[in-house]
Amino acid sequence: MSPSNIDPNLRSWVDIPEHSDFPIQNLPFGIYSTGDTPRRVCTAIGDYVADLQILSEHGFFEDLELESGIFEQATLNAFIGQGLSKTRAVRQRLADIMDDDLEEWDASELRTFFLIPQSEVTLHLPLAIGDYTDFYSSLEHATNVGSLFRGKDNALMPNWRHLPVGYHGRSSSIVVSGTEIAHPSGQYLPEGAEHPVFGPSQRLDFELETAFVVGRNSTMGQPVSTDEANDYIFGMVLFNDWSARDIQRWEYQPLGPFLGKSFASAISPWVVTMDALSSFRCDGPEQEPEVLPYLKLPDSSSYDIHLEAILETPDGKRMSLCQTNHKHLYWRMVQQLAHQTSNGCNVRIGDLYASGTISGPDPGSFGSLLELTQNGTRPITLPDGSKRTFLGEGDTIILKGYCEGNGIRIGFGECRSTIVAT
Amino acid sequence: MSPSNIDPNLRSWVDIPEHSDFPIQNLPFGIYSTGDTPRRVCTAIGDYVADLQILSEHGFFEDLELESGIFEQATLNAFIGQGLSKTRAVRQRLADIMDDDLEEWDASELRTFFLIPQSEVTLHLPLAIGDYTDFYSSLEHATNVGSLFRGKDNALMPNWRHLPVGYHGRSSSIVVSGTEIAHPSGQYLPEGAEHPVFGPSQRLDFELETAFVVGRNSTMGQPVSTDEANDYIFGMVLFNDWSARDIQRWEYQPLGPFLGKSFASAISPWVVTMDALSSFRCDGPEQEPEVLPYLKLPDSSSYDIHLEAILETPDGKRMSLCQTNHKHLYWRMVQQLAHQTSNGCNVRIGDLYASGTISGPDPGSFGSLLELTQNGTRPITLPDGSKRTFLGEGDTIILKGYCEGNGIRIGFGECRSTIVAT
């Protein structure tokens, strides 16, 4: 068994429901609290949260030479900052503790002292996010959006196949799953109008994305190569890049998306480690023309992650809006990081680098309503027969994601946001 | 005397050189250290730094009910977070202590115990910057740049006069004056070439800007109006938005500037308070067409701040590149903040909101080499007779800024960066 990858045959004594996102092979990291317990580092196992501070107090990490108080933190940044060898050792120790073969404790009542049902805790934004970049790395998404706005022949800009296009995003308004999103207002130009108006967005949309979390500070002026990039990528989260298409459309020339995005982005509470995802590496789309040397692609740097977006309407009805896969992404995470740092820009622990909307080749795999409804011209039909183009107050979007293979499922849980009136 | 504005007739017993940026009426805030002293909050007076921790230890702030340890900090964020009534009281107390009429101490050797020559200290990045936005608020700059890239008739986008266009910038690579800037490399499309190349930027440029510092957290989902905005603006700094024009030009469509900017931005070490600048409020350019109500302009919300950019070549020769004024800006800071939060986006203490390049109406007032050299087609002549379009290794750019009137000068010091080989 490699130090990074927990034995696929391992089973836990913790009762784990079938199809749970959180088997003993996952062990993601998050931050929880309860009415009695302030924010602390935890992991997920089945339907439970495991409190790492309690385990630490009982001496389970004593030999790992961790900084004192490293689990009594409001974010994961300090824990991640201990370095990959220590965070790996902690994750491996967690697996040892929950291993079915563990013979140290017989009484099951005793050995669950560090487990709390997820339903009884609050999960928090797990990171202090210094900078956040949103890439635009799906060829299908860039082509779909470009076709809608500039026609099929000009869909892709000349730079698109040469570099992972991206823009700086807003960190302050990234919230954790479960946080209500205030319906944004803004300035937009109504169809056919001569003057802009200010009011609630009429074209509120989600974007199905993932983001990777930086696990190591880089030095300003020193690029990180595609070969080195994996050492800087700690884990991944689901990412909903909430978008107000009308605000975005009016404002974005010439400096890019701004208020059409900055009202909110949502992430899943669990940071799934790249170690947990490593069995699901795969080859991705061929890149043509060949990329410049600083973007040279290491083998198998795509990930086979099933992704889904679900709409829950105010009456509680649910429908799947799209199903796609991370492996469709043209630009890989290691290339995004190499590009981001190629000019000497430094990255910091806790930074988020989002994929951009992940669309696949067929219409059922388009990761935004902009694409699914062809910019609002082809409404989707809801379970009750009503039609819908964009989102409104009371609507909930749920993102889900998981890898599956060899009888193991490594999942992200969900990223859920409900739109509310301001 | 208003609590916010220190008596213009006040004189200090500290020896202050003529034309100093730092009379007793300024008292900006910064962070310094020496070999012996870790980072601490300080102010500037003449050629000295005044250590607020030393004054605090001697009881000078005892009645102000400040948090303990508030001056023993690596950034100003916690100090600013005490709120405007307390930071104002501290600044007023500093003026009282350094007032020429002060009779409490007779022996001048004794009363200088908290002063250290600026030449003996290191000044640090004064803020932990959560988010940074770069606006594009100079009509002259937007027109100049737009004309170069899209011709005079399409210079301004249709949105420009309706909203303060801006984009999210990179926080991690904002450095303090004096920090060397590594010459960035990047991907660009050489003139007439079919394929992009990767290499050192051939069109390295500065941008003469200022930025305001947020002094109060706002709540997500709750816009800040133009009337409320002044309560959220703590102070200002000089801002050099370093730019690689070739990288920027190739990458910026359709999502805006990214690596062409993110290799570095530099700020002056002193945060000059809005209180110190308040005597220099003035009327700015008329806004036509009338703005939407959420951008409604309070009276006199422009500032009369002289600004200059100076080039120092590797042989030590200096020349002034441009002189301009903050009052030329079309979009005011209160409008920028109201626009930034109009969609519910929250701002946080320490955030920076930069003006965009501040160009004036005549060519000597253009705030970037892009404009001064007409995109490199009209080189400038250096003191030694040589020609220059963009910047190279060994070049230093120094930004300066000050307000002046009634015999008082409120200045920012300088923002200096030297380009070095990587």
* Cβ separation B264–A344 shorter than 8 A: yes
Contacts of B157 in chain A (CB under 8 A): 253-254
Same domain, B106 and B205: no
pLDDT in tens, A40-53: 999 999 999 999 99
Dig out the tokens for A402 from the structure. 């998981």
Q: What is the mean pLDDT of residues A355-367?
A: 97
pLDDT in tens, A237-265: 999 999 999 999 999 999 999 999 999 99
How many folded domains does chain A comprise? Answer: 2
Q: Which domain holds residue A48?
A: 29-123
Q: Return the pLDDT at B5.
A: 81
Q: What is the mean pLDDT of residues A320-326?
A: 98
Q: Residue A102 pLDDT more than 80?
A: no
Contacts of B293 in chain A (CB under 8 A): 198
CATH number of the CATH domain containing A351? 3.90.850.10
- Whether residue A140 lies inside any domain: the answer is yes
Q: What is the mean pLDDT of residues B408-413?
A: 97
- Calpha distance B14→B24 (Å, rounded): 9
Same domain, A327 and A393: yes
Same domain, B39 and B76: yes
Q: Which residue, B101, B108, B84, is CA-closest to B7?
A: B101
Query: Where is the domain boundary, A123, A150, A176?
Result: A123
- Whether residue A218 lies inside any domain: the answer is yes
In this predicted structure, which of A142-151, A226-235, B329-338 has the lowest mean pLDDT? A142-151
Q: What is the mean pLDDT of residues A273-298?
A: 96
Split at pLDDT 50, 70, 90, the class of A384 is confident
Share of chain A above pLDDT 90, in %: 91
pLDDT in tens, B112-150: 899 999 999 999 999 999 999 999 999 999 999 999 988
Q: Could you tell me which chain A residue has the CA closest to the CA of B188?
A: A159
Q: Annotate B321-333 with b (16+ C-beta within 10 A) or e (fewer).
A: bbbbbbbbbbbbb
A143 and A156 Cβ atoms separated by less than 8 Å: yes
* Cβ separation A254–B157 shorter than 8 A: yes
Q: Return the pLDDT at B149.
A: 84
CB of A200 less than 8 A from some CB of B = no
A322 and A208 Cβ atoms separated by less than 8 Å: yes
Q: What is the mean pLDDT of residues B51-68?
A: 96
- Whether residue A171 lies inside any domain: the answer is yes
- Whether residue B383 lies inside any domain: the answer is yes
- Calpha distance A175→A269 (Å, rounded): 9
**Residues listed for chain B:** 422
Same domain, A234 and A366: yes
- Residue by residue, DSSP assigns B263-298 as T-EEE-S-BEEHHHHGGGEE-----SSPPPGGGPPP
Same domain, A309 and A185: yes
pLDDT in tens, B350-395: 999 999 999 999 999 999 999 999 999 999 999 889 899 999 999 9
Share of chain A above pLDDT 70, in %: 97
Same domain, A182 and A249: yes
- Calpha distance A34→A46 (Å, rounded): 19
**Residues listed for chain A:** 422
CB of A296 less than 8 A from some CB of B = no
Q: Could you tell me which chain A residue has the CA closest to the CA of B168?
A: A168
Q: Return the pLDDT at A307.
A: 98
pLDDT in tens, B352-362: 999 999 999 99
Of A115-124, B98-107, B380-389, which one has max mean pLDDT? Answer: A115-124
Catalytic residue among B19, B58, B124, B141: B141
* Cβ separation A131–B340 shorter than 8 A: no
Q: Which residue, B265, B8, B268, is CA-closest to B118?
A: B268
Query: Where is the domain boundary, A102, A123, A144?
Result: A123
Which one-letter amino acid corresponds to residue A344? G
- Whether residue B24 lies inside any domain: the answer is no
Q: Residue A327 pLDDT more than 90?
A: yes
Of A173, A195, A294, the CB nearest to B346: A173
A residues 143-162 lying closer than 8 A (beta carbon) to B: 146, 157-159, 162
* Cβ separation B422–A221 shorter than 8 A: yes
CB of B81 less than 8 A from some CB of A = no
Query: Where is the domain boundary, B123, B148, B178?
Result: B123
Contacts of A342 in chain B (CB under 8 A): 185-187, 198, 259
User: How far away is chain B from the Cα of A7, in angstroms, using its nearest Cα?
Assistant: 38
Q: What is the mean pLDDT of residues A354-360?
A: 98
Which one-letter amino acid corresponds to residue B258? F
Same domain, A145 and A42: no
Q: Return the pLDDT at B392.
A: 96
Split at pLDDT 50, 70, 90, the class of A400 is very high
User: How far away is chain A from the Cα of B143, in angstroms, using its nearest Cα?
Assistant: 12
Q: Annotate B358-376 with b (16+ C-beta within 10 A) or e (fewer).
A: bbbeeeebbbbbbbbbbbb
pLDDT in tens, A290-303: 999 999 998 899 99
- Calpha distance B119→B113 (Å, rounded): 16
Q: Residue B1 pLDDT more than 50?
A: no
Same domain, B95 and B166: no
CATH number of the CATH domain containing B58? 2.30.30.230
In this predicted structure, which of A81-90, A143-152, A224-233, B273-282 has the lowest mean pLDDT? A143-152
> What would you report as the CA-atom Rg of chain A, rounded to the nearest whole angstrom?
22
ω into residue B223 within 30 of 0, thus cis?
no
Contacts of A351 in chain B (CB under 8 A): 172
B residues 304-343 lying closer than 8 A (beta carbon) to A: 339-340, 342-343
State the DSSP code for A385: S
pLDDT in tens, A331-350: 999 999 999 999 999 999 99
Q: What is the mean pLDDT of chain A?
A: 95
Share of chain B above pLDDT 90, in %: 91
User: How far away is chain A from the Cα of B108, in angstroms, using its nearest Cα?
Assistant: 45
Contacts of B258 in chain A (CB under 8 A): 133, 165-168
Active site residue A141: yes
pLDDT in tens, B71-102: 999 999 999 999 999 999 999 999 999 998 76
- Calpha distance B304→B327 (Å, rounded): 5
User: Phi, psi (5° rounding) for residue A274?
Assistant: -65, -30
Contacts of B194 in chain A (CB under 8 A): none
Same domain, A109 and A177: no
Q: Residue A1 pLDDT more than 60?
A: no
- Calpha distance B128→B76 (Å, rounded): 8
- Calpha distance B40→A68 (Å, rounded): 26
User: Phi, psi (5° rounding) for residue B181?
Assistant: -110, 120
Split at pLDDT 50, 70, 90, the class of A406 is confident
User: Phi, psi (5° rounding) for residue B243?
Assistant: -140, 140
Which residues, at least 6 apart from A20, have a Cβ–Cβ distance to it below 8 Å?
A46, A47, A409, A411
Q: What is the mean pLDDT of residues A213-220?
A: 98
CB of B280 less than 8 A from some CB of A = no
Same domain, B197 and B242: yes
- Whether residue A19 lies inside any domain: the answer is no
Same domain, A264 and A369: yes
Same domain, A87 and A165: no
* Cβ separation B343–A172 shorter than 8 A: no
Whole-Å CA distances, A349 to A127, A129, A234, A240: 9, 8, 9, 21
Contacts of B223 in chain A (CB under 8 A): 185
B336 and B292 Cβ atoms separated by less than 8 Å: no
- Whether residue A16 lies inside any domain: the answer is no
What pairs with residue A401 in β-bridges? A307
- Whether residue B199 lies inside any domain: the answer is yes
- Calpha distance A205→A397 (Å, rounded): 10
